[in-house]
A and B are shown apart, each in its own frame.
Chain A
Amino acid sequence: MKTLIDLAALFIGVVLAFIIQHAMPPMDGMHGAHILLVPLVFFYSAMVLPFPAMLVAAVYTGFLSDLMYLHVVGGKVEIPIGFSILYFMSTGCVANGFKPAMREGNVLPFVLTSALGTSLYLFIQFAVITWQRGDFIWENAIAWRILAPGVMAALIAPLFYWTLSHMDRLLPDGSRKARTIKR
């Protein structure tokens, strides 16, 4: 029952994250880098959900991300649908391994996974674009656009964790009790 509630929360959370990140303008002081919240929401769920539910979360988050950013010009798709599913599934498998740490209230793996996962997502997107278009180009602005969202994710992650872990205690299945006993 708890897993289903968590999955439902993830489904709503990912949509909300899309809406909020869409509402936030690019950061001009950081060479037009965007704040990405969707990977953050996913990595949190990947670190609290059981493995099969994490896979469902990866498919859902990845599918919506691909549809959101599908770029077609002249009948050519730059990054096909499925790329983000594959990415979230692979990184989700790693993140899922940190479940025990998360259960013990250790927020550090979540912060690191969110930061690295966000930047890696953008880096792979950039690598695919470069491969598709040819001509390797590297500028400061590219580094900013890849790293700054990761840093922002690292800053937001503790607050996100704190908020969600407090909300989690309101659930009716005694998750708070279970957590207290473990400690």
Chain B
Amino acid sequence: MNKLHIALVVAVLAVVLYLSTLSTAAMQSLQAGFMSIFSPFLRTSSAVQENIGSVGQRLKTLDELEVENRQLLTENNQLRAANSLLRELQAENSRLRLALDFRERASFKLLPAQVISRDASTWWNTIRINRGFEDGVEADQPVLTDAGLVGKITTVSKNEAIVVLITDETCRIGAKIEGTREQGIVSGFRVQEDDAMGLLQMNFLSKNAEITPGQEVMTVGVAHGSFPPGVVIGKVKEFIRRPLDGQAIVEPAVHLASTEDVFVLVGKK
């Protein structure tokens, strides 16, 4: 290694030192700029990911149809295909109706958004949505659906935002259990054996609490917190009594692995 190489390494180390001491806001601005540039490419790749993911499901449907339609005529096949298409449209219609109804009923100002990508990293549970600061989205705003809480906004770019899901360990939510006086902190697990399950943990509960599976868990809405009170998080799946406290394993109300339409809570009506 000659002197020039050593000088270059020192220069890179100086750059690293400078970048690592940037403020959180500056790092987020850099990330927002990066997101704005890469967003079109990543959206395309997310669409591809969605298609890859649904291949298995499609093959299964095809297999089922093949077995089912062996004894049917070609006309019947065409009718079935048309029917299936209509059913899909009907399901979409119902889903959107429910979402619209939820938006009308809510006492908060809800901004509809679509999930454009998910699960891009190994250690963090995040999704990206197609709304950014141009739409009024800001950091720490809650994201939810008609079924319950999804997560909160972290980084916002012009037309896109990153949402940290409630299944991430760093997303901590003050919560209470319906029908009890028990309050605790809900968060995700660092890593789960099966991510599709996406379970949550609720800690700091009394070990003598009478908590049974099926009880609803909802946000408590602490002062200056990100989440308003009364938003459903999920249902208790299991209650574990530990030497010092109790822990509830909570199943999220929203199926986070497949949710496509969400709302960002941008303020009160």
Contacts and interface: CB of A to CB of B under 8 A. Distances in A.
A141 B193 contact: yes
For chain B, give the interface size range.
Answer: 35 or more
A119 B192 CA distance: 19
A130 B170 CA distance: 12
A133 B123 CA distance: 12
Residue from the set B4, B19, B28, B38 with the largest chain A CB neighbour count within 10 Å: B19
B42 A72 contact: no
A141 B123 CA distance: 11
B195 A85 contact: no
B196 A28 contact: yes
Given A22-B45, A22-B49, A81 B154 contact: no
Contacts of A122: 122
A51 interface: yes
Interface of A: 15, 18-20, 22-26, 28, 31-34, 51-52, 55, 58-59, 63-64, 66-78, 80-83, 85-86, 89, 93, 122, 125-126, 129-130, 133, 137, 139-142, 145, 149
A139 B194 CA distance: 12
Closest 10 CB pairs of A and B: A23-B45, A82-B20, A82-B19, A82-B16, A67-B34, A73-B170, A23-B48, A32-B195, A80-B20, A22-B45
Q: Which one of A23, A59, A75, A141 has the greatest number of beta carbons of chain B within 10 Å?
A: A23
Contacts of B164: 71, 73
B99 interface: no
B27 A23 contact: no
The winner among B27, B28, B30, B192 for most chain A CB atoms within 10 A is B27
Among A32, A52, A78, find the residue whose CB has the most chain B CB atoms closer than 10 A: A32
B9 A31 contact: no
A74 B126 CA distance: 15
B12 interface: yes
Given A25-B52, A133-B170, A125 B28 contact: no
B126 A58 contact: no
Secondary structure class of chain A's binding surface, majority of residues = helix
A125 B20 contact: no
B17 interface: yes
Contacts of B168: 73
28 contacts: A19-B44, A23-B46, A26-B195, A52-B8, A55-B9, A59-B12, A59-B15, A63-B19, A64-B34, A67-B31, A68-B120, A69-B120, A70-B28, A73-B164, A73-B170, A77-B24, A82-B17, A83-B20, A85-B15, A86-B16, A89-B9, A125-B123, A129-B123, A133-B169, A137-B190, A141-B192, A145-B122, A145-B191
B34 A139 contact: no
Nearest to A142: B191
B119 interface: yes
Given A58-B12, A59-B15, A73-B170, A51 B5 contact: yes
A129 B15 CA distance: 23
